[in-house]
């Protein structure tokens, strides 16, 4: 948990740099920065929720109905975020922001892959879906940590 808290703090510090200038007003620039901050927090929280569901499922620590509800809610928000990122990316935004929104869509897809593998694992108890879940989880974290700048800390 401490690791995730530090991740969010690191993201908050880095988020100001997510959106380059290119907006005509201070308000537009501040809104873009706020979008970057909230987007990063959203990705981290989604990752934590999906991972928590997988962890407690493997330990039989929660009932399936509760986990399915958590996953369905997270999936709904990920799909909604993808819709908004797509709509905003089609507006007149600076090229760097366009790339950011496309990257957010890609990351939402990685998280949705993680949800789907976990759901398949929960339904079938087939180990191949558990393995797929862990591969997807690792891929999602790699992208999230790159977006929020954690990969730069290692260098």
Would you say 71 and 50 are in contact if contact means Cβ atoms under 8 Å apart?
Answer: yes
C-alpha closest to that of 119 among 83, 61, 73: 73
- Longest Cα separation, the chain: 54
Burial class (CB in 10 A: 0-12, 13-18, 19+), 59: exposed
Q: What is the pLDDT of residues 85-114, one digit of tens each?
A: 888 888 888 888 888 889 999 999 999 999
Q: What is the pLDDT of residues 29-52, one digit of tens each?
A: 787 778 888 888 999 999 999 999
Would you say 79 and 56 are in contact if contact means Cβ atoms under 8 Å apart?
Answer: no
pTM: 0.79
């Amino acid at each position: 948990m401490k690791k995730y808290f530090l991740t969010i703090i690191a993201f908050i510090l880095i988020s100001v740099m997510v959106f380059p200038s290119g907006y005509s007003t201070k308000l537009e620039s501040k809104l873009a920065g706020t979008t970057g901050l909230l987007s990063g927090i959203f990705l981290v929280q989604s990752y934590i929720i999906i991972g928590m569901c997988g962890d407690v499922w493997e330990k039989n620590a929660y009932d399936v109905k509760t986990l399915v509800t958590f996953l369905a809610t997270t999936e709904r928000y990920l799909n909604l975020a993808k819709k908004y990122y797509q709509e905003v990316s089609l507006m007149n935004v600076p090229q760097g922001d366009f790339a950011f929104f496309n990257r957010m869509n890609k990351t939402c897809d990685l998280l949705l892959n993680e949800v789907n593998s976990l759901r398949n694992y929960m339904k079938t108890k087939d180990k191949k879906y558990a393995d797929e879940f862990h591969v997807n989880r690792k891929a999602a974290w790699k992208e999230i940590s790159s977006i929020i700048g954690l990969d730069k800390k290692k260098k």
